[in-house]
Structure 1
Amino acid sequence: DGPTSVNVRITGLTPGLHGFHLHEFGDTTNGCISTGAHFNPNKLTHGAPEDEIRHAGDLGNITADADGVAEAIIVDNQIPLSGPYSVVG
């Protein structure tokens, strides 16, 4: 119960904003094609992280600095680590 914290550090990006989201599957064997759609167990529409109605996996934007590094801590209530809609697995 409670929010999930995601600690993010990504390198090699172009500087600026980048959308950050979770997909249905962790399978990257065929690039983005094998990851599935955005994680959306409730079958809702896209939205911002602060919106109650949104894909659970819509986590907003992260910003890469001039060196292409993005670091963030995202705290979210719609991506549980256990239960029927767990993002684990």
Structure 2
Amino acid sequence: MKTVLSIAALAFIAVSSATLAQDKQTATADFVGGDGKASGRATLTAAANGGVLIEVEVAGLPANKWVAFHVHETGNCDAAVHHESAGKHFNPTNAEHGLLSAKGPHAGDMPNQYVDQDGVLRAQIFDSMVTLDGKTDGIRGRALIVHANSDDYRSQPAGDAGKRLACGVIK
């Protein structure tokens, strides 16, 4: 028996395959603040040679201040417990915390980000130590956290970054 597909069916298959491939290369994280209300979004894009580009915009933060920005291990953003449900920093290699640590950093450690005078963090950050869907370094299903203080890049286990102000699950 011979199967013949129409041009429309072939076009649908091609578009569906392209969409599926794109979905595997991108992810989003919708942030909620400490009050549980929506506060922003991140778009994550897998780089061809590894790493992930994170484009983020989060509102309702303290103005004119440097804040820590990390990947956390658990994709749970419960504002009722100050986003502690997101767990610790994502650290699949059991490295020490901190970009300036001799035995670090964690895969979830990223540079501090600046919140402008309008209380909005806008940034593009590249994390070369993670992938979207890798077996050990994959971050889809984990959480992004904006902390109240800047990361000192050395203190264990989390850089003295302070309270968790906003959280987004990577989907």
* TM-score class normalised by the smaller sequence: 0.7 to 0.9
The gaps in structure 1 that reach 5 residues or longer are none
TM superposition score normalised by structure 1 = 0.87
Corresponding residue of 1:6: 54
Corresponding residue of 1:87: 139
Corresponding residue of 1:25: 74
Structure 1 residue 77, shift from structure 2 partner: 1.1
Which runs of structure 2 are paired with 1:72-83 in the superposition (5 Å)? 72-83=123-134
Percent identical pairs in the alignment equals 36
TM superposition score normalised by structure 2 = 0.47
Corresponding residue of 2:165: none
CA distance in 2, matches of 1:31, 1:13: 14
- Provide closer, same or farther for how the CA distance between residues 83 and 52 of structure 1 changes in structure 2, counting only shifts above 3 A: farther
Equivalent residues, number? 88
CA distance in 1, matches of 2:103, 2:96: 10
Structure 1 residue 52, shift from structure 2 partner: 8.2
CA distance in 2, matches of 1:12, 1:48: 27
The one of the two structures with greater contact order (alpha-carbon pairs below 8 A, sep at least 6) is: 1
Of residues 51-60 and 12-21 in structure 1, the stretch that sits farther from structure 2 once superposed is 51-60
Partner SS state of residue 34, structure 1: helix
Determine whether 1:69 maps to 2:127. Answer: no
Q: Which has the larger radius of gyration?
A: 2
Partner SS state of residue 58, structure 1: coil
Is this contact kept in 1: 2:62–2:115, CA < 8 A?
A: yes
After TM superposition, what 4+ stretches of structure 1 lie above 3 angstroms from structure 2? none
- Please give the root-mean-square deviation of Cα atoms over the aligned residues, in Å: 1.9
